[in-house]
Amino acid sequence: MADLNVKIGSLTLKNPVMTASGTFGYGLEFADFIDLSRLGAIIVKGTTLHHREGNPYPRMAETPSGMLNAVGLQNKGVEYFIQKIYPEIKNIDTNMIVNVSGSTIDDYVATSAKIAALEKIPAIELNISCPNVKEGGMAFGTSCKSAGNVVKAVRQVYPGTLIVKLSPNVTDIAEIARAVEAEGADSVSLINTLLGMAIDAERRKPILSTVTGGLSGACVKPIALRMVWQVAKAVKVPIIGLGGIMNATDAVEFLLAGATAVQIGTANFIDPQITIKVIDGINGYLKRHGYNSVQEIIGLV
Amino acid sequence: MADLNVKIGSLTLKNPVMTASGTFGYGLEFADFIDLSRLGAIIVKGTTLHHREGNPYPRMAETPSGMLNAVGLQNKGVEYFIQKIYPEIKNIDTNMIVNVSGSTIDDYVATSAKIAALEKIPAIELNISCPNVKEGGMAFGTSCKSAGNVVKAVRQVYPGTLIVKLSPNVTDIAEIARAVEAEGADSVSLINTLLGMAIDAERRKPILSTVTGGLSGACVKPIALRMVWQVAKAVKVPIIGLGGIMNATDAVEFLLAGATAVQIGTANFIDPQITIKVIDGINGYLKRHGYNSVQEIIGLV
Amino acid sequence: MKKYILDLKVTENLRLHTNYVLLKFTTVDGSSLPPMAPGQFAEVRVDGSPTTFLRRPISINYIDMDNNELWLLIQLVGDGTKKLSTVSPGQTVNMVLPLGNTFTIPEDKASQLILIGGGVGTAPMLYLGYELKQQGYNPIFLLGARSATDILQLKEFKTLGDVFITTEDGTLGEKGYVTQHSVLIENKFDKIYTCGPKPMMMAIAKYAKTHNIDCEVSLENNMACGVGACLCCVEKTTEGHICVCKEGPIFNINKLLWQI
Amino acid sequence: MKKYILDLKVTENLRLHTNYVLLKFTTVDGSSLPPMAPGQFAEVRVDGSPTTFLRRPISINYIDMDNNELWLLIQLVGDGTKKLSTVSPGQTVNMVLPLGNTFTIPEDKASQLILIGGGVGTAPMLYLGYELKQQGYNPIFLLGARSATDILQLKEFKTLGDVFITTEDGTLGEKGYVTQHSVLIENKFDKIYTCGPKPMMMAIAKYAKTHNIDCEVSLENNMACGVGACLCCVEKTTEGHICVCKEGPIFNINKLLWQI
Ligand SMILES: Cc1cc2nc3c(=O)[nH]c(=O)nc-3n(C[C@H](O)[C@H](O)[C@H](O)COP(=O)(O)OP(=O)(O)OC[C@H]3O[C@@H](n4cnc5c(N)ncnc54)[C@H](O)[C@@H]3O)c2cc1C
Ligand SMILES: Cc1cc2nc3c(=O)[nH]c(=O)nc-3n(C[C@H](O)[C@H](O)[C@H](O)COP(=O)(O)OP(=O)(O)OC[C@H]3O[C@@H](n4cnc5c(N)ncnc54)[C@H](O)[C@@H]3O)c2cc1C
Ligand SMILES: Cc1cc2nc3c(=O)[nH]c(=O)nc-3n(C[C@H](O)[C@H](O)[C@H](O)COP(=O)(O)O)c2cc1C
Ligand SMILES: Cc1cc2nc3c(=O)[nH]c(=O)nc-3n(C[C@H](O)[C@H](O)[C@H](O)COP(=O)(O)O)c2cc1C
Ligand code: FES
Ligand code: FES
């Protein structure tokens, strides 16, 4: 076994494979399929200050080698998370990370502060890039100033490892990455979904209730890989790469492009055991090429 | 036969189906496969003021439901086009449109002025969105100011129909569309390719000689469709929609989203007769749904 | 119920009619199939269909205990189901199963239960009927379809109880819609179970509400994960948006907010 | 030469060895195959491989005039060729053909011509050898491969002229590389035609240059369109970047800028 350990802020991951927010529930949904403790980290559902019903159905459309979703951050709010969900997941033996979303800076701050109090949640991922809710999310992630402002505010109340999740729907993602790094982010994760749309030609209607939604899956990999490569040259903090990772080779590509860890999202829907296969596959790759540690391949390209 | 005529600036197209620049050569390459005169328009290769060798090989990588290219505007320059190619193509009985690229505003202006003198070229498509050349192309298309400046300068020397091709690698494409409309563009076409990257994990190297390249094909359709829909709400000039159109249903989706015409690019590689199938398919769709004219479905979504 | 990811081996592929196939599967190694309940479904991976990215949810049609076989009844609608319909005996198909909840059954074995299936929506009704019969109920079946050729698995249904039929064109049974069938109108039922096209289920739900009959429907919302992880498949209910794949697909109509 | 888009019918699928298949095709309607020249290729559409988006370029291996058959010799390297290798007789495969240029043949029928193929690069050599023989030349063949089992279509080559072999492991013919084979060293050739892995072709080009032998190679640059429209497949030559799919795949080494 090669050394698969990686560090993200003050977190040590037993391997670079995490699950992407919104695609893995709270982890428990996959407990029948895999040993959750083998994962590097689990990033749970997007959590907001208050309960959110999310967008109306339909929320999903299949696209060539991918899918659009318009879930819209449905969740029962941070208090419910703390009372009801945290007790259920806190003993899963991996890094449990909460993905935090909000509509205002105060929302982000309040939610992050509450999560900061949870002993078994060592990190948060600040979602400033959700394209599926009007008043917030993505808007923060599309300008350096607003992205920087959210991070600055949250940094003041959140002492744990602070990961900031970037939006790909921007002209220059490296610039945004630099802005959030400057305000104290410990790591950046990218990419969130690309804003897309699907139309039902027969019914002459958009397929999603919200018209547009977030594109994910294999189809976005070339774009995600390019962005990770660009950001890797722009910042010093570790990068978590994601977007279209469907197998171990894809994951290795992200590591080569400069990511210290990866997240797997949509691929979990197609193969609920994919995370374990990717971990084993990265190990196999390292062995085959004579590397002793995953560190050796990070950023080789 | 439903009425398939559409107008773009002062151009009348016998149907809304054009071919996308860089994917259809000068049209002649497809003469064995289809009757070129059936097309609404042919947009020929990107043409620059001076001869360009393009980027080194390898220039292409296959991706999930798509491909990356890094051709880099290889062409023999506008003079060669006028002397050698124009005489060969000027009698093709459709709208022959030249895609004009440049590294400086002066380049764009000089090239456009020369094309303006060609009687059988009724329109140009200004490519301010090529992601594959360093000093220009895309840089113009990623800010309202520079996009507006190019269009303003070209508008002064080019009296024909002026189409401006927009880059999808931006935060807000509608804003750019408005800027070029304000400077006198007769139409906008979108999208050019999305900046992407591919890595050969086994060799630990980028696949393309230029590292990054332009993503096209089915995978980009959801993004292209969303952008067309956004731009349709932002401008009054007719929109030409493209990006991942692989069949007639895809083309209809773009029309429904607000495009007056469509372009077919990568799909020509997979089926050299696809353009004709799309024309026939649009006609079939209109019939089936009881429309007499393609105009009736433009922008229905 | 524990969920599994299994490669199951095709034992039979029966084309029931132009647009329907019945696929039978068993385990590769001869081990027993995992326990599954009526109303549950499988997320089936479709190999070799370039346009099919996600798995396809398909109801458990029947479990043949004697032969250790799982049956799936599939209507060919798009590329995914068309590709799936071409598998041949010996090939394996990857499935995640069993997913979702099951029907609730009244305690009183004398309850008058009617199972109404429309089109391929009859699929889960067969296994439900079998279970009910096993447990000592006397289920009655009402099958509706466009035309006689769309009435599937009639022979199997007949072994489980009385079967009534409506077809829209009158080629079999009574002409019209299931809600107009005399068996429904002339008898008093304690519970209706139904699966089929949404307009049909809504008409039945309305009928059930009006006549104060307990009623459970099986929803077919679009799904991505099938395990409650993505929240794509939600139905708006009295408890807010809940996942059809996990807390459904079987819902009591009282929980739904259908405008009927 | 006029290009066609054709659905051709598989008549035979021969697995030559673990990693190679020989596919034979004829027209669906019994009409004659279009004229094709040695060195040209087909852009083959691969159906049912989700990871294969573009067509795959495959050389014309042979035209069997008597049976109106086109042969393609395919090495299984990735998903596309693997999927293609599973077609069965009766199925059709869509191809754009014939594409590219052909070899140039010296006028003098007494010219000493040697055709050197490495691995699956022997594919276009068979048809070229056939044409040469038809036209009254006496081609000599030199086939190289890793091991005896990678030497393909030996029987067919033997009907066209003398065949010499090298294998890297010495399991057939002389041990070593083609450029080391005695037939090459001991005879004086007027022209070399070659197709195979790039390092092999470069070694041959170097040999040819050193010995002042005219030499044509067949390149296998990655392609998207195959018809000269996309400029993806370019090779840097004395005339700048030119398309391998249209002005190639056959190049005289004098035109190439290989560092040899
Ligand atoms: C819980 C459940 C049980 C089902 N049981 C059966 C069954 O037993 N037999 C059967 O034939 N069908 C069943 N279906 C429907 C079946 O899943 C769809 O017909 C199938 O997914 C269509 O796939 P396709 O690729 O052939 O069609 P597509 O080309 O994808 O689409 C054709 C139509 O099917 C719908 N559809 C596409 N993807 C999905 C999806 N992931 N979920 C639901 N609908 C979708 C589309 O909206 C479209 O109208 C069930 C669906 C659900 C949710
Ligand atoms: C003019 C020409 C003639 C050829 N003739 C033959 C032949 O007669 N028999 C034969 O077996 N092979 C031939 N090839 C090579 C064949 O095209 C590739 O092996 C095939 O495209 C690989 O496809 P894949 O999906 O199996 O592999 P992939 O998984 O796509 O890739 C496997 C390898 O093949 C290379 N490759 C992928 N796509 C292409 C492409 N479009 N063009 C070229 N290389 C590619 C990749 O770089 C990779 O190294 C020829 C290639 C060219 C250009
Ligand atoms: C159904 C769905 C729900 C998602 N919800 C969230 C979310 O709540 N918060 C978030 O930051 N990202 C969310 N995402 C984005 C993913 O975490 C990930 O960034 C994206 O899907 C790209 O990765 P992939 O291609 O591997 O799926 C969601 C994605 C999907 C498909
Ligand atoms: C090989 C290749 C070359 C291209 N060259 C040009 C070009 O010269 N000028 C231009 O404006 N767009 C160029 N494009 C972009 C296409 O015209 C089109 O915008 C893009 O491919 C998206 O459409 P598609 O998905 O239908 O291919 C090129 C695309 C490809 C694939
Ligand atoms: S399909 Fe993912 S939650 Fe139901
Ligand atoms: S492959 Fe398109 S020009 Fe050669």
Question: What tens digit of pLDDT does each residue of B256-278 get?
Answer: 999 999 999 999 999 999 999 99
Residues 6 or more apart in contact with residue D35 via CB below 8 angstroms: D1, D98
Q: What is the pLDDT of residue B121?
A: 98
The answer to whether D47 and D19 have CB atoms below 8 angstroms apart is no
Q: Kindly state the percentage of chain A with pLDDT values over 70.
A: 98
Whether residue C99 has its Cβ less than 6 Å from ligand 5: no
Interchain proximity A219–B66, CB inside 8 Å: yes
Please give the Cα distance from C133 to D137 (Å, whole number): 83
Ligand nearest to the CA of B22: 4
pLDDT digits (tens, 9 = 90+) for D2-15: 999 999 999 999 99
Neighboring chain D residues of C50 at a CB cutoff of 8 Å: 48-50, 52
The one-letter amino acid at C235:
E
Q: Name the catalytic one among A20, A128, A130, A177.
A: A130
Residue D233 assigned to a binding site: yes
CB-CB under 8 Å, A297 with B199: no
Q: How far is the CA of D221 from the centre of ligand 2 (A)?
A: 8
Domain locations along chain B = 6-55+72-196+216-297
Mutate to test the interface with A, among C2, C51, C94, C234 (most CBs of A within 10 A): C234
Of B44, B105, B52, residue with least CA distance to B75: B52
Residue D59 among known ligand-binding residues: yes
Chains with 3 or more CB pairs under 8 A to chain B: A, D
Task: Please answer yes or no on whether A249 and B201 come within 8 Å at the CB atom.
Answer: yes
Q: Determine whether the interchain pair D49/C48 forms a contact, defined as Cβ–Cβ distance below 8 Å.
A: yes
How close B6 comes to chain D (CA, Å)?
26
Q: How far is CA B137 from CA A227, B114, B192, in A?
A: 19, 19, 11
Chain C residue with Cα closest to D80: C48
Share of chain B above pLDDT 90, in %: 95
- Give the containing element (helix H, strand E) for B80: helix B78-80
One-letter amino acid for residue B31 of the chain: A
Nearest-atom number in ligand 5 for the CA of A60 is: 1
Which atom of ligand 3 approaches the CA of A218 most closely? 25
Q: Which DSSP helix (H) or strand (E) runs through B146?
A: helix B144-157
Q: How confident is the model at residue B133 (pLDDT cuts 50, 70, 90)?
A: low
Rounded average pLDDT per 10-residue block, chain D, 260 residues:
97 94 97 97 95 97 97 97 97 98 96 95 97 96 94 96 95 93 92 96 96 96 97 97 97 94
Q: Kindly write down the DSSP assignment for every residue of D132-190, as one continuous string.
A: HHHTT---EEEEEESSGGG---HHHHHTTS-EEEEETTSSSSEES-GGG-HHHHHS--S
Minimum-distance ligand to the CA of D220? 2
* Residue B221 structure tokens: 């359709």
| Pocket, ligand 1, Cβ cutoff 6 A | C 41, 52, 54, 56-59, 73-75, 77-81, 120, 123, 220-223, 249
Ligand 6 center from residue B153 Cα (angstroms): 34
User: Which numbered atom of ligand 3 lies nearest the CA of C230?
Assistant: 1
Q: How far away is chain C from the Cα of A43, in angstroms, using its nearest Cα?
A: 12
A129 CB neighbours in chain B (<8 A) are none
Residue C252 CA to residue C238 CA, distance in Å, equals 11
CB B55 within 8 A of CB B192: no
Residue in chain B lying closest to D95 (CA): B271
Name the residues of B annotated as catalytic: 130
User: The CATH number of D4-99 is which of 2.40.30.10, 3.40.50.300, 3.40.50.1470, 1.10.3470.10?
Assistant: 2.40.30.10
Question: Chain B contact for D198, CB < 8 A?
Answer: no
List CB contacts of A83: < 8 A, sequence separation 6 or more: none
* All structural domains of chain C with their residue ranges: 4-99
Q: What single string gives the DSSP state of each residue in A49-80?
A: SS-B--PPSP-EEEETTEEEE-----B--HHH
Ligand 4 and B22: CB distance under 6 A: yes
C100 assigned to a ligand binding site: no
Alpha-carbon distance B21 to B81, whole Å? 15
The CA-atom distances, in angstroms, between D81 and each of D47, D76, D78, D121 are 11, 5, 6, 15
- For tokens 């070694």, name the residue: D203
Reported as a single tens digit per residue, the pLDDT across C157-183 is 999 999 999 999 999 999 999 999 999
Question: Which ligand 3 atom sits nearest the alpha carbon of residue A245?
Answer: 26
Which residues in A lie closer than 8 A to residue C229 (C-beta atoms)? 23-25, 29-30, 268-269
Contact A53 C227 (CB under 8 A): no
Ligand 2 centre distance from Cα of residue D57 (Å) = 6
Does the annotation list D195 as a binding residue? Answer: no
Whether the CB of D241 sits within 6 Å of ligand 6: no
Determine the average pLDDT of the residues in B25-44. 98
- Note the ligand closest to the C-alpha atom of D56: 2
Instruction: Give the number of the ligand closest to the Cα of residue B30.
Output: 6
Give pLDDT, residue D79. 96
CA A191 to chain B, closest CA, distance in angstroms equals 13
State which of A192, A228, A268 you would mutate to test the pocket of ligand 3, scoring each by most atoms of that ligand within 8 A of its C-beta.
A192
CATH class given for the domain over B6-55+72-196+216-297: alpha beta
pLDDT higher than 70, residue B138: no
Is position C122 annotated in a ligand binding site?
no
Distance between CA atoms of C171 and C194, rounded to whole angstroms? 22
> Are the beta carbons of A163 and A151 closer than 8 angstroms?
no
pLDDT at B135: 53
At residue B136, does pLDDT exceed 60?
no
Q: Are A108 and A146 in contact (CB under 8 A)?
A: no
Are C49 and D49 an interchain contact pair (Cβ–Cβ within 8 Å)? no
pLDDT tens-digit readout, B81-96: 999 999 999 999 999 9
Which are the contacts of B83, defined by CB distance < 8 A and separation ≥ 6?
none
What ipTM does the predicted assembly reach? 0.96
Region C7-27 average pLDDT? 96
Residue B139, pLDDT score = 76
> Does the annotation place B75 within a ligand binding site?
no
pLDDT digits (tens, 9 = 90+) for A93-138: 999 999 999 989 999 999 999 999 999 999 999 999 877 666 556 6
Give the pLDDT mean for A53-73: 96
CA distance C206 to C183: 17
State the DSSP string of C204-260.
HHHHHHHTT-EEEEE-----SSSSSSS--SEEEETTEEEETTTT-SEEEGGGB----
Q: Whose CA is nearest to atom 35 of ligand 2?
A: D222
Query: Quick check: C192 and C208 in contact, CB under 8 A?
Result: yes
CB-closest option in A25, A32, A62 to C54 = A62
- CA–centroid distance, C246 to ligand 5, in Å, is 7
Report which ligand 5 atom has the smallest distance to the Cα of C246: 4
pLDDT for position A155: 98
Q: How many CA atoms lie within 13 A of C26 on its CB side?
A: 15
Q: Is the CB of A169 under 6 A from ligand 3?
A: no
Tokens in use for B88?
Answer: 């060969």
Q: Please indicate if the annotation marks C74 as binding a ligand.
A: yes
**CA D221 to ligand 6 center in whole angstroms:** 9
Position B131 pLDDT exceeds 80? no
- CB of B160 closer than 6 A to ligand 4? no
Nearest CA to ligand 3 atom 2: A22
Strand order in the sheet with A194-197: A60-63, A66-69, A212-216, A194-197
